[in-house]
Structure 1
C-alpha cells in the first residue's frame, strides 16, 4: 500500500495570513462568543477561505470542538439557519464544545485537496482562538463530522492529516465507487416499473405483504429490480420513490463528459451496451424530439437567500446560481407519456446552434432549462437562442447514465459488483478505460478513502438509505480493518439505523409513516467519540449485521442487534396484519427494547390513521432497568379502508427527554384492514 503524504497545516504558507473581522457576544441560538474571519491570499475561483467559530461561555466549555463539513462547499454561515434538533451550533454549545465551520474554500470543479486543507486550517486557527478566549494552554480535542458527500470530506480529513482531529464521524457513507453508480440502477427501476410497479413493491414489504418484491412484475421489470437490489438498494426502501428523485446523478454527469465523452456514443452504437439492443428498455424509451421555439419568456433571478444545507440537497448550491436563461414556449410537444425527465435541450439552428443545456421541467408547452452542470450557471447558458430556432429534446444521455455502473467494475472488495463478473472474475460488459467513480471521490473530498485513518472513527449508516447504500459502511469497516492490521477494536465502530433514509434533517421527514431521523444517534456517536478519545471509555460495539447479496440484514431483537437505536415490535390484536369490522375496537400493543448499555426508553407515540401527528406520548410500562418498555392502547376505526398504524419510540442514554439532541428513534408498523 502506497504511503500517503500527510498534510501539516503549520507547514503550509498558503494559509499563513489568518484574520478576524467579527468578534462579539451573541445571544442566539444560545449565548456564545462569535468569531468570523478567513485567510488572506486564499482567493481561488473568486472565493476566499473563510470560517465561523462559535464558543460557549467559559463555565460550559469542556475542552473540545465539533466541526461540520457539508456535502458541497457552502457559505460559512450555513449552520445559523438551523433550528431544533437540526441546530448543530446549539448541539455543540450545550455539550461542552465550540463549533467550527468553514466554507471549505468554495465550490470548485477541481482541486479537491483544498477541501481538507481549508478545514484543517480552520480547525487549527480555532484552537489558537479558543486558547486565547478561555485563557487555557491546553490543546482542545477536535472531532469532525459530515454526511453523504461530507463523509468523503470527513474521511479525507481523518486520512490525510494527523493530530488535527482526534476523531471523526462520517455518516451515511459514500465510498470510492459510490458516485454516480448508486443512483444509476435505482433511476432505471423507477423508469421501468413506473408508479404501478413501484406500488406493488412497496405493498409487498408492508406488514401483511408477501415479502416478495418481484411478485406481480413482468420478467423485464423483475430483472431491472433484481440488479438494483444486488447493487444494494434496500428492498424496504422503495416507499421513498415519490420524493427521492435521482439524487445527484446528472450533477455528476459532467465528470463523464470530461473524462470519457465517447461513452454517450458507444452506449447507443456498440455491442454490450444496453442502448445498442433494440429490445432494451433504453431503446424503447429513447426520445429525440425536434420542435421550434415559439416564444422566450425571461424570469426573475433566484434569491440569494434560497440556500440548501442538508445532506440530501446541498449539492443544489452547485447548480442553481443566478440563471438568466429564459423559459421556452414550444410550438409542438412530444407525446404525453414520453420519458422526458432530465432530458437535454440541443439547439439545432440559429446563433445558439450547438449549445446544450439540461431541462429542469416541462409544464404544458413551457420548457424551463436548468443551470449548466459544468458550473457555468451565472448567465444565460443558451445565449443567442431566438424565436423560430429549431431545438431537439433528447433523453439519450440520461438513459445512458442508468447502466453506467456496469461499465466500471472495480476490485473484488466491492462485493455488490460480483453480478457483473463471470465465473473467472472478468467483467461481463465492456469497460470504460478508467474508473470514474474514484475520480469523483477524489474531487469530492481531496483523496480516495482507503481506511488509513489517523484517529478514532465512528460511522453512522442508514439501512434504508436510498443514496448512500448501507453496504458502504461495511466496505469502509473492512478497509479500516485492513489498514490497521486487524485492530478494528481500538479505532472503529459502525452503527446501523433501521427505518432511516439518507436525509439528515429532523423536521423535514419526507414520509413520516415509514421514516425516523437518525440525528439522535449521530449526536450520541459524537459524544461517545469524545468520551473514547478524552477519557478512554470505549463506545458500544459495532451493530451486529450481515451483508447478503447487497442487502444489510440485522437481527430482530435489540439484544442481538446492539448499536444505539431502540427496537420496536408493534402488534394489532397480537398480529402484524388483521382484518376487522368498522367500529370494532382494536387492541394495539408494542414492546420497545434498547440495546444493552445504550440507554433507556423515553417516549412512544401511535399514529393510527396517517395524521402524521406523533406529539401525544403513550403511557409506558417499563421494566426496572428502563431498557424495555411496553405500550397497550385501543383504537376504533370508523370507516372502511386499509390502515397502517405506526408506533414511533425513542430512547436516550440517561432515560430523559430534556435533551432533544440525543433522542434515538425507531418505529414499527402494522396493517389493519377495516371492512
Structure 2
C-alpha cells in the first residue's frame, strides 16, 4: 500500500506565511525580489522556514519556476553569491522562469526529516500565489525542482512524496539509498594502499599513449583495492582527481556510525570476521597508535574563511553543517608522528587529565601540530577547554582505516549488485555483518523519505561519467527502481550521462581543467527540456545508450550511438612528416617543428550545433582562442590547427568543444561541453 502523499494545503503547520522584503533589483538582471518565511515553524527558537523568490519582468516570464534544493540546508540567499554560468538565479530569469529557493527548514540533527520536502512544497505553493499577484494572472505556474548530490535525495523526496506540487524534476549527480557513507570508503582504501606512486601509475596508464591497464605495476594488495573500488563503481578515469577529492563528506557522516555502532571501531581490530583482527592484513600492518603528551595549545591562529560560493556547491554544501562552532585549538605534541605512517583523518584521544575520554577527528597534521576537524562529531562546543600541556594523548589511525572497510559489513538487497563481490558463492557474506544498514538512514535523513523510484511527475536524471562521489551506476539503479514501481519510463523518465565531468557542479572552478569539463550546460538544458515536456508535450531525447557491468557504466564511442545532448570530440595529432602512434593520439617532434592537430566533433541528432572549439597546447588553461569550425553535415564538424613547441618536454594538448541546441554561442547557460586529449613528445 502506497504511503499517503503530502498535500501542502492540508498542513496547518505552514498556515501563516509572511513576506518581509519586496523590492526591485537590477543584479544579475532586473527582477522583483521577495523574501519571507512561515511564522511558527522555528524549532526551539531557531531554524525558521524561510524562502527567497526572484521574479523576472512580466514580458520575460513564461509561466514557470525553477526551484533549487541544495545538498545540505543552507541560507535561502546563498545562491546570490554565484556568478557567470554558475548563477542559478540569472539562468532562471533569462529563461522564462522565476527562481525559488528556501532554507529547507534549516539544518538540524535528528527530528522529522520530512520537514525538508514539506518546507520545499509549501514554499513552491506559496510562490504561486505571489506570482499570480505580481503578474496579475490566474494561470497556475508550472514548477520544476532540481538538485545534485545530497540535493538529488531532496529532489527524490519532493517528487516521490507529493503529487501536483511540481510538474517535473532534474536530480543530478544522483545519490541512492546505499550511497553514503559507503561510496567514500573503497576509494579512500585504494588511495591509502596505492599512495602517490601507485595513483600516478593508474593515471598514466589512461593517458594518450598509456597501456590502458590500470593495474600495471601494482602489487597484489594494491590491485585488490583498486579492483574493489572499481567494482563498487568508482570510475577509473576519475583517478586523475585524487589530489583534490579527499574523503568527500565522510567526516560529517562518521558520527552516525559512532552513535549506531559504538563498538565497531573496537571490534574491527579484535574480532574474527573483521579485517583488522587478521595480523596479516594490510589494515593491521598500517595500524598506528602514538601515545605522547601535549606540548602546548594555540588559539591565536587565523581561521580560514570560505566564500559563500565555495561552500555552496554539491561538493562542499556539507560544510554548512559544521559552521558556527566554537574555535578548536591547534595542538602541538611532544613527539612527531612516525614517518611513512597513514595519518589522513586520524583520531585524537585524550587519555588523562580533565579531558580524559574526549576525542575528535584530526583534519591535518603538520609535523607535531594537529589541526582538529571542525565537524567535531556533530557538536558545536569545544570539548578541549580544559586540556593542558603534559596531558597524555593518543593519535590513532584505526578508526579511519576501519571506515575504509565499512561497506563490506553493510550488504544490502540484490538490487545493489556491486556488493556481490563481498558474498560467497552460496550468497552468504564473506565478512561479519552489522545488525543494520546505515546508508538507508542517511538517505531518509537527506530525502525525508526512503527513495523508491515512485515518482509523481516527469524526471530527467543527469549523472557524471567521472563522478568520484556519486557513482555513475546510481542513475541506472534509479531508472530500474522506477521500472520496479510499474511506472512507464517513456512517459516519465530520461537518464543522461555526461562524459569527462566529475561531481562538482561549478563551471567557474574545475579541480583540473586539463582533464574535465563542467556539466552545467547539459543540466540547464535538461531543465528546459523537462519544462517543454510538461508544458508543450515535446518529448526529450531518449535515455542515452549505455551498458552496465561490474559496477561500471560504458558509453558508445560516437555521439550518434550515445544519444543525449553532449557533443563528442575525437582528436589526433601528427608531426611534420605526418607520423603518429597509438591511433593518432601520440606523436614525436623536434623543437620548432610544425605539428598538425585535427579533430572531428559529433553532435547527437537534433541536439544542436557546435558553438566553440579551442585547443590548449601547453597547459595554460586558456581555451579562449576559437578555432575555425567546418561543418561536414548536420551533425559532424571538423577542425584543423597547427602549433610549434619552442621547448622540449612531454605535452598533453587538450581540445574543448561546446554545442548549443539552437547554435547560440551567446547563451552561456546552455553550452554542452566535452574534451579530448593527445600527447606530443618534443625533443
Partner of 1:359: 362
Equivalent of 2:666 in 658, 664, 674: 658
Mean Cα displacement is larger for which, 142-151 or 357-366?
Answer: 357-366
Partner of 1:608: 617
- After TM superposition, the structure 1 = structure 2 runs for residues 615-626 of structure 1, keeping only pairs within 5 Å, are 615-625=624-634
- Structure 1: how far apart are the matches of 2:613 and 2:384? 54
- Structure 1: how far apart are the matches of 2:461 and 2:419? 23
- Structure 1: how far apart are the matches of 2:266 and 2:489? 45
Q: Secondary structure at the match of 1:227?
A: helix
- Structure 2: how far apart are the matches of 1:37 and 1:375? 29
- Structure 1: how far apart are the matches of 2:127 and 2:377? 34
Partner of 1:93: 93
Instruction: Give 1:325 deviation, angstroms.
Output: 1.7
Contact 1:302 1:322 in 2 (8 A): no
Mean Cα displacement is larger for which, 123-132 or 253-262?
Answer: 253-262
Q: Secondary structure at the match of 1:547?
A: strand
- Structure 2: how far apart are the matches of 1:304 and 1:561? 39
Partner of 2:428: 426
- Structure 1: how far apart are the matches of 2:293 and 2:663? 65
Can you give the 5+ residue segments of structure 2 that lack an aligned partner in the other structure? Answer: 575-579
Partner of 1:227: 228
Contact 2:325 2:379 in 1 (8 A): no
Instruction: Give 1:638 deviation, angstroms.
Output: 2.2
1:472-508 Cα offsets, whole Å, 9 max, x none, are 00000001112135x2100000000110000000010
Contact 1:320 1:370 in 2 (8 A): no
Partner of 1:516: 517
Mean Cα displacement is larger for which, 364-373 or 118-127?
Answer: 364-373
Equivalent of 1:412 in 411, 414, 419: 414
Q: Secondary structure at the match of 2:335?
A: coil
1:426-475 Cα offsets, whole Å, 9 max, x none, are 22211110111100100111111110000000000001100000000000
1:364-397 Cα offsets, whole Å, 9 max, x none, are 32212122443212x3232211122111111111
Partner of 1:117: 118
Partner of 1:477: 479
Partner of 2:493: 492
Contact 1:372 1:381 in 2 (8 A): no
1:543-576 Cα offsets, whole Å, 9 max, x none, are 1000121111000000101011000000002601
Partner of 1:337: 340
1:14-37 Cα offsets, whole Å, 9 max, x none, are 111110000010110100000000
Partner of 1:669: 677
- Structure 2: how far apart are the matches of 1:665 and 1:304? 28
Contact 2:252 2:375 in 1 (8 A): no
The answer to whether the aligner puts 1:9 opposite 2:11 as a matched pair is no
Equivalent of 1:591 in 587, 595, 600: 600
Equivalent of 2:397 in 384, 395, 398: 395
Q: TM-score, normalised by structure 1?
A: 0.98
- After TM superposition, the structure 1 = structure 2 runs for residues 242-641 of structure 1, keeping only pairs within 5 Å, are 242-299=243-300, 308-377=311-380, 379-485=381-487, 487-573=488-574, 575-625=584-634, 627-641=635-649
Contact 2:337 2:368 in 1 (8 A): no
Instruction: Give 1:301 deviation, angstroms.
Output: 5.8
Contact 2:71 2:147 in 1 (8 A): yes
- Structure 1: how far apart are the matches of 2:282 and 2:614? 44
1:25-57 Cα offsets, whole Å, 9 max, x none, are 011010000000001111125210000000000
Instruction: Give 1:4 deviation, angstroms.
Output: 2.0
Instruction: Tell me how many residue pairs correspond in the alignment.
Output: 671
Q: Secondary structure at the match of 1:237?
A: helix
- Structure 2: how far apart are the matches of 1:303 and 1:596? 46
Instruction: Give 1:322 deviation, angstroms.
Output: 3.6
- After TM superposition, the structure 1 = structure 2 runs for residues 135-174 of structure 1, keeping only pairs within 5 Å, are 135-174=136-175
Instruction: Give 1:624 deviation, angstroms.
Output: 4.4
Partner of 2:33: 34
The verdict on how the C-alpha distance between 1:228 and 1:304 changes in structure 2, with shifts beyond 3 A counting, is closer
- Structure 1: how far apart are the matches of 2:622 and 2:280? 48
Q: Secondary structure at the match of 2:251?
A: coil
Contact 2:545 2:562 in 1 (8 A): yes
Contact 2:345 2:363 in 1 (8 A): yes
Instruction: Give 1:303 deviation, angstroms.
Output: 5.7
Instruction: Give 1:255 deviation, angstroms.
Output: 1.0
The verdict on how the C-alpha distance between 1:294 and 1:350 changes in structure 2, with shifts beyond 3 A counting, is same
1:178-212 Cα offsets, whole Å, 9 max, x none, are 00111000001111000100000001111111110
Contact 1:605 1:617 in 2 (8 A): yes
Instruction: Give 1:297 deviation, angstroms.
Output: 1.1
- Structure 2: how far apart are the matches of 1:264 and 1:70? 32
Contact 2:252 2:378 in 1 (8 A): no
Partner of 2:103: 103
Contact 2:251 2:375 in 1 (8 A): no
- Structure 2: how far apart are the matches of 1:198 and 1:328? 31
Q: TM-score, normalised by structure 2?
A: 0.97
Q: Secondary structure at the match of 2:269?
A: helix
Q: Secondary structure at the match of 2:192?
A: helix
Instruction: Give 1:279 deviation, angstroms.
Output: 1.6
